[in-house]
Amino acid sequence: MKEMSKIVRTVTNFVYGFIIIFGFYIIAHGHLTPGGGFQGGAVVASAFALLLISYGRLITKKFLKKDIMSITESCGLTMFIVVAFLGLGITFFYNFLANTGSWFGNTTVIGINPGDMNTGGVIPLMNIAVGLEVLSALGVIVLIMAGAAEFTKKKENS
């Protein structure tokens, strides 16, 4: 994957940070505004793909390490299933934080309201866990596919 022209690279330098922040915004506000873990993770993964396209595989390998991503992926999923396990006192996926005043536990105003971050109980935690898992999973897939292009091509003309 060769790198692209100077213009694209400068725009990427500028836009890269904002895309990632926007992705995390979608993940964190999953229970208030449209979006959630999957959509936010995909937005952040698109930032990785942008970096890969504009700078080519060799430079991106220094920034995005495949091993770290697969570690964060396993951690994200383990966090997700541990949060589900914590509700095991009552049932497996029980929302034990909702409306209990503790972390993320404020009771929401029924009907139309401006939206309070501190509500939703277990849902924001699961959003963050799934967002982490999706962004690193798609990142790993994008990196491997870029690396694999050379891997299969080299074999073919050798």
Partner 1 sequence: MNLSNHIPILIIAIPLLAAFLVPLIGRINKKATGILTTLALSVSLILTIALAVKILTVGPQVYVFGATSPSLTLPSGLKFPIRIIFEVDAMSIFMGLITAIVSFLGAIYSLAFMKNDSGLEKYYSLLLLLTVGMFGMVFTGDMFNFFVFLEISSIASVALISFRGTDLGEPAEAGFKYMVVSSISALLVLFAVGIFYGQYDVLNIAAIASVMKYSQLDKIALGLLVPVLAMKAGAVPMHMWTPDAYSEAPAPITMILVVASQASLYALFRVVFSLYNISLNALTVGWIIIIFGLLSMFIGVTMAIIQKDIKRLMAYHAISQTGYMLLGVGVGLAVLANPAALQKYGITAMEGGIFHIMNHAMYKGLLFLTAGALFFSTGTRDLNKMGGLAHYMKYTTIFFIIGAAAIAGLPPFNGFASKLLIYESVYRFNPLLSIIAMVVSILTLASFVKVFHSAFLGPKLPQFKEVKEVPRSMIFAMAALSCIIIFFGLFPDLIVKNLVHPAVMSLIEQLQYTGTVLGGM
Partner 2 sequence: MKKIIFGIAFIIFFSFLIVSAINMRTFGEPNYSEMDDYFIENAQSETGANNVVTSVVFDYRGFDTLGEATVLFTAVVGVVALFRGVKK
Partner 3 sequence: MIGNLPYVAVVIFIGLGIYTLMFKKNLIKIAIGVVLIENGVNLFLITLGYRKEAIAPIYTQAPSGQAMVLPTPQALTLTSIVIGIATTALILSVAMMIYKHYGTLDTDQVRRLKG
Q: Which of 1, 31, 22 is nearest to 123 (CA)?
A: 31
One residue of 58, 68, 82, 145 binding partner 3 per CB under 8 A: 145
Q: Which of 103, 97, 100 is nearest to 121 (CA)?
A: 97
- Give the largest CA-CA distance in the chain: 67
The nearer residue to partner 1, 18 or 93, going by C-beta atoms, is: 93
Find out whether 24 and 44 touch, Cβ atoms under 8 Å.
yes
One residue of 7, 34, 62, 90 binding partner 1 per CB under 8 A: 90
CA separation for the pair 15, 18 (Å, rounded): 5
Q: Which stretch binds partner 3 (CB under 8 A): 5-13, 31-39, 62-70, 92-100?
A: 31-39
Q: Does 148 bind partner 3 (CB under 8 A)?
A: yes
The nearer residue to partner 3, 102 or 113, going by C-beta atoms, is: 113
The nearer residue to partner 3, 34 or 89, going by C-beta atoms, is: 34
